[in-house]
Amino acid sequence: MPEFHNSVDTLRLKFFEKGLTEADLVLLSGETHTIGTTTCFFVRDRLYAFMGANTSDPAISPALLPSLERQCPKDGSPLDRILLLDQVTGDSFDVQSLINIKNGFSVLPSDSILYENNITKSVVDFYSVPESAFAGDFVVEVQFVMNV
């Protein structure tokens, strides 16, 4: 299973080992985060100790950072405080999570890094338009993974 702190190369390898592609990675990792929640535990280092430094992840949009910092303050916030994965459209099943990846609005680092690799970036770009085939392809992906 992918972990929230994996590099894009590690994520790709984990998917390849199961016979899956970069498109599968984007649809099943990035797009499944169009709905659901996470906790401050999984984003705290990204906000306050990125790469071991006393700074935030530069991939986080300056428009999103203050909101995440309010939801998960550096001091005093319980690590189990719940955050929406999609800070824009909430729990709507749509392409917004992919748009979030493009615009620096990803909450989890494992989503954000999908835009740092040329192959996964092109898949994010392809599926991040409302007219894309993402919904149909997502259903096919879920059915496929159920058999993996």
Binding-site members for heme b are: 33
Q: What residues form the annotated binding site? A: 2, 33-34, 86, 89, 94
Please answer whether residues 134 and 127 qualify as being in contact, where contact means their C-beta atoms are separated by less than 8 angstroms: yes
Enter the tokens of residue 33. Answer: 């985060």
Which residues are annotated binding-site positions for Ca(2+)? 34, 86, 89, 94
Q: Which residue has the tokens 């894009």?
A: 8
* Sign of the dihedral defined by the CA atoms of residues 87, 88, 90, 93, in that order: negative
- Indicate the annotated binding residues for substrate: 2
78 near 72, Cβ under 8 Å? no
Q: Rounded to an integer, what distance in angstroms lies between the CA atom of residue 70 and that of residue 86?
A: 16
Q: Provide the b/e sequence for 11-27 (b: ≥16 CB within 10 Å).
A: bbebbeeeebebbbbbb
